[in-house]
Structure 1
Amino acid sequence: MTLSGECFCGEIKYRVEGPLRDARSCHCSRCRKAFSSQAYAYALVEPDHFNWVSGKHLLTSYIGGQGFGLQFCSKCGSTLCGIYNNEIHGITLGCLNEDPEIEIGRHIYVGSKASWEIIPDGAPQYQEGAPQNA
């Protein structure tokens, strides 16, 4: 499977050569702020399956605690991917150009979701992070 993605302004483009896995939506207050939304939709990707096609020089990174961070376009602000210890960890599903043929498999941190959000049925919901075996 080959997928492509890009930021809102189209200056940064990437390609994924391989399947995505473990799609999830996080509803915590930190993700609401990071993504300016009620939650984020994110899937894991193998770092060696991911390549920047253009605009890498426009990337800005925010690294939080424990080595986790986000990379986004410094021009339009689109959050494109997550990183862990300076390696691609996963991608935001909203920036994909094609159908990733994956569905959200779990909703995490629903215990701190916005009071105005209604989470659709269909995927397991966890008050905090999902258990290790989920």
Structure 2
Amino acid sequence: MIEGGCFCGSIRYQIEGALQHARACHCSRCRKAFSGASSAYAEVAAGSTFRWIAGEDKLTRHMSGHGWGLAFCSACGSTLCGMFGDQVHGVTLGCIDGDPGVRIEMHIFVGSKAPWDHIAGDAPQFEERPPSPSPSAE
């Protein structure tokens, strides 16, 4: 079971299952939305169950178009998750209690990272989106 919540503790969630595709996005929009050098987040894996266990009434959603958006705590401002429509698509790694079971697999949009940002570690870096996987030859 993965659990997490906001800075002030008003909002709590649980994920029964796993996370996948952890990444850090360094685009200017994510820097503003997450108030940092990047957004560190992972997708909720297919077959996993996400549920709010406290404070869902304190969630504020900001939808940015094409059905995508963010949800954050209206009391403390912690960005908790990415939304697609009414469904939680992924969660911010910084709001998870303990080990989320994933590591950053890639850094994306590093071509527009902040000039003061220094990316460490050995995860691959992509100027924009990572290349799409090639169709397998059969």
Give the TM-score range, shorter chain: over 0.9
> Which structure 2 segments of 5+ residues have no match?
none
- Could you list the runs of 4 or more consecutive aligned residues of structure 1 that deviate by over 3 angstroms after TM superposition? none
Match of 1:11 in 2: 10
Contact 1:46 1:88 in 2 (8 A): no
One-letter code aligned to 1:5 = G
Count residues with an aligned counterpart.
133
TM-score by length of 2: 0.92
1:20 alignment partner in structure 2: 19
Gaps of 5+ in 1: none
Q: Do residues 57 (structure 1) and 57 (structure 2) align?
A: yes
Distance 2:57 2:12 in 1: 11
Question: TM-score, structure 1 length as denominator?
Answer: 0.95
Matched residues in 2 for 1:129 and 1:84: separation?
19
Larger radius of gyration: 2
- Greater CA drift, 40-49 or 108-117: 40-49
CA contact (8 A) 1:60 1:74 kept: yes
Counterpart residue type for residue 31 of structure 1: C
Shift of 1:78: 0.2
1:117 maps to 117
